[in-house]
Structure 1
Amino acid sequence: MIEIVGLTKVFSEKIIAVDNIDLKINEGKVVGFLGPNGAGKTTTLNMIVGLCKPTSGKIFINGIDVREEPEKVKKVIGFVPDEPLLFEKITGISYLNFICDIFEVPLEERRKRGGWLLQAFKLLDAIKDPISTYSHGMRQKLALISALIHKPKILILDEPIVGLDPESASILKQIMKRHASNGNLVFFTTHIMEIAEKICDEIAIIDKGKIVFQGTINELRQLKGDKSLEQLFLEVTKSENEEIDFSFLD
């Protein structure tokens, strides 16, 4: 479970990235974290995984305070940032073994689970090549495999679909659903409303650093009407208020 209480991140007097938010995300669910660019999604995820220090507030992972016991928390998290930051001068297999060593994944388990993931994401043929030769999509796949290989209870993914080919995107969505159905938790950001609508059990919408909705898509429709998630999102974030004149394109 992820529990966030009064979380705030201030970068300067004029920049409040996250503004006193509360969130509670239970196991067994895929939860989408939606919001416009600059709304505070990535900053929130970075604070959850310990990459960014909150200005105030508390974050608990399975009841453990992230700031008080960061190493204990990291052992149960698989994290993929919005940009796959990898060691480019080593091979893919060396990087995977490095990750497995950190999380103390047994040799037989890393071979079995790693082999399945590499085959599923079509990265087996390139795993012995230097990461510097990988395309963006291949790096994204390696980052995902690295997050999954130690069987974390909690997956935190920042725009995980970006850069993936359709087959790999489909596989990832199935993995996310299966991971949650096994009693685990998936919390991910996306700008693709169709993906959120298809795989999310719940969504949380953040706008200008504040949570403006958390619940199921059906609950949001009960509040705002029977519309597409894209229309609902635009209405909740008030993005539809600005009328744009497209006549110059004619």
Structure 2
Amino acid sequence: MDHGPGKILSLKGLTKWYGEKLVLDDIDLDVYEGQIIGYIGPNGAGKSTTVKIMLGLEASYSGEVEIFGQNIKESGVAYKKRIGYVPESADLYDNLTAREYLTFTGELYGLTADSADYKARLLMGVFNLEDVYDSRISSYSKGMKQKVLLISSLLHDPDILFLDEPINGLDANSVMVFKEILAQLSSQGKTIFYSSHIMEVVQKISSRILLLNDGKIVADGSFEQLRQKNKEGSLEEIFNQLTGFNEHQNLAEDFVQIVQRDHR
């Protein structure tokens, strides 16, 4: 089957129900090599469900999901070796050292123990963490744990990267390094799904933005294209316009008034 130049992922009529709740409503989507996709939407819009289906973690859906030109229901698990994933909240094995955890993760993806260990040590060094490579992860700060997660998702040089709130806990310098890593991976043809509620970051890094609302894609294009179509200044304003959320000022005023109320 011809997927056209550089098509790496295709969703056709993707529909998902949880009981009587329609979570994904007949989604069609084609994604190409080298795109950094800002995948955004309110909580409960269906973002995580879409990603779990593409990762093969959620099997009960209707429609077709093709990755690397193959229907994932028929292709087995081999395609997962070419995918990296950072979930929003991951439970790291705290009793392991970073060396043990990253070597184990690398082996799961098909690297030899020696190769995984070698690459992991160097990558920890880039993030200035080589000194704690043999320390238990339980002794790490939140930001250090996040760096280990990022390394584990990239250790095997995946072709698609799914990132859910990936800069949680990172300091400003590390965020700058990570944004540059994504830009360089994209320029080499890697495809990145970046899901976050931090609109300024999504706006800056994404070559294409998908806004999911009530299980449907309600916007798809570059930031400039979305801004021209919606006559709004920032991605946050476009987001609020398209999802119908315009109560933030009133809610904030209510909150502050309650905080400042004299309770005596």
Q: What is the TM-score normalised by the length of structure 1?
A: 0.92
Are 1:120 and 1:171, in contact at CA under 8 Å, matched by a contact in 2? Answer: no
> In 1, Cα distance between the equivalents of 2:56 and 2:133?
29
User: 1:67-82 residue pairs with structure 2 within 5 A?
Assistant: 67-82=73-88
Residue in structure 1 matching 2:180, options 128, 150, 174: 174
* Residue of structure 2 in register with 1:122 after alignment: 128
Equivalent AA in structure 2 for residue 232 of structure 1: I
Residue in structure 1 matching 2:96, options 90, 98, 101: 90
* Residue of structure 1 in register with 2:11 after alignment: 4
User: 1:31 Cα shift?
Assistant: 0.7
* Residue of structure 2 in register with 1:237 after alignment: 243
User: 1:100 Cα shift?
Assistant: 1.5
> In 2, Cα distance between the equivalents of 1:90 and 1:71?
26
User: 1:191-202 residue pairs with structure 2 within 5 A?
Assistant: 191-202=197-208
User: 1:133 Cα shift?
Assistant: 2.4
- Aligned pair count reads 249
User: 1:201-212 residue pairs with structure 2 within 5 A?
Assistant: 201-212=207-218
**Structure 1 portions without partners, runs of 5+:** none
> In 2, Cα distance between the equivalents of 1:128 and 1:221?
48
- Report Cα offsets for 1:171-203 as digits up to 9, x if no partner: 111111111100111111011111011111000
Equivalent AA in structure 2 for residue 6 of structure 1: G
> In 1, Cα distance between the equivalents of 2:149 and 2:248?
38
Query: Runs ≥4 in structure 1, deviation > 3 angstroms?
Result: 106-113
User: Is it true that 1:186 corresponds to 2:206 in the alignment?
Assistant: no
- Report Cα offsets for 1:7-54 as digits up to 9, x if no partner: 1221111x2222221221111111110101111111111111111224
Give secondary structure in 2 for the equivalent of 1:244.
helix
> In 1, Cα distance between the equivalents of 2:114 and 2:136?
24
Give secondary structure in 2 for the equivalent of 1:232.
helix
Give secondary structure in 2 for the equivalent of 1:85.
coil
Structure label with greater radius of gyration: 2
User: Is it true that 1:53 corresponds to 2:59 in the alignment?
Assistant: yes
> In 2, Cα distance between the equivalents of 1:116 and 1:29?
27
User: Is it true that 1:224 corresponds to 2:225 in the alignment?
Assistant: no
User: Is it true that 1:156 corresponds to 2:162 in the alignment?
Assistant: yes
> In 2, Cα distance between the equivalents of 1:70 and 1:172?
32
Are 1:32 and 1:200, in contact at CA under 8 Å, matched by a contact in 2? Answer: yes
> In 2, Cα distance between the equivalents of 1:140 and 1:220?
31
% identical equivalent positions: 37
CA 1:149–1:201: 2 relative to 1, 3 Å: same
Give secondary structure in 2 for the equivalent of 1:25.
strand
**Structure 2 portions without partners, runs of 5+:** 1-7
> In 2, Cα distance between the equivalents of 1:123 and 1:2?
35
Give secondary structure in 2 for the equivalent of 1:115.
helix
CA 1:52–1:136: 2 relative to 1, 3 Å: farther
Give secondary structure in 1 for the equivalent of 2:250.
coil
Are 1:91 and 1:130, in contact at CA under 8 Å, matched by a contact in 2? Answer: yes
User: 1:241 Cα shift?
Assistant: 6.3
CA 1:121–1:36: 2 relative to 1, 3 Å: same
